[in-house]
Amino acid sequence: MKMVRRFTGALAAAALMVAVPGAAIAGWKVMAPHQPVLVGKSTLKVTPGIEWNRSSARPGPSAEMWTVDGLALNELLFVGGVAPGATLIKDRHKKDRPLPRFAANMLAPDIVQLYEGTIRNAVATSLFEIDNVAPAKLAGHDGVHFTFHYAVQDEDLRRNGEARAAVIGGKLYLIAFQGPALHYFGAGIGEARAIMDSAAM
């Protein structure tokens, strides 16, 4: 397996910085190219075009993260089947900054706001902006596509991101890719879009 450097960033920080004391460091599993794989502990299936590394540290019960070069450089988040009343990732700071929760009647703008609120709260930043929102398909279902950029508070590094989401059977499914605007986002977004296009159920 390709060795992956561990970094903190975006949802990686939310998932890894509060690991159980004494627990083993997150491991990695290679996702082979051109092989369909179920993601997010759900029936959502994607087919990568290149080799990715899947982290064993999950940011939430129905979420998982993949990377090629390290989570701070390129991060692909899958969220599979979030039920009404649940959050996209584990609500680790619910007393100080509780995460927004999904509702089955959410429209496309609400889903975008749900994701934005999740990232803002998870990394405690006010530096998050949605750039574009448009209709899209995910796994053959009507959904939303949106782009965004953000920075962790008190850091100069801008990160760009792109996501697709859809409510299927009353549950929320989402795939989001993010990376530094300098090189890594542009280098990886083509493969990330192809994975989003491959999504099926």
> What is the per-residue pLDDT across 52-90, written as a single tens digit (0 to 9) for each?
999 999 999 999 999 999 998 999 999 999 999 999 999
| Polymer length in residues for the chain | 201
% of the chain with per-residue pLDDT over 70 = 87
Choose the most confident range, by mean pLDDT, from 11-25, 110-124, 184-198.
Answer: 184-198
What is the distance between the alpha carbons of residues 199 and 201, in angstroms, rounded to a whole number? Answer: 7
Fold of the domain spanning 30-198: Protein Transport Mog1p; Chain A (3.40.1000)
Q: pLDDT category, 26, cuts 50, 70, 90?
A: low
Residue 4, pLDDT > 50, answer: no
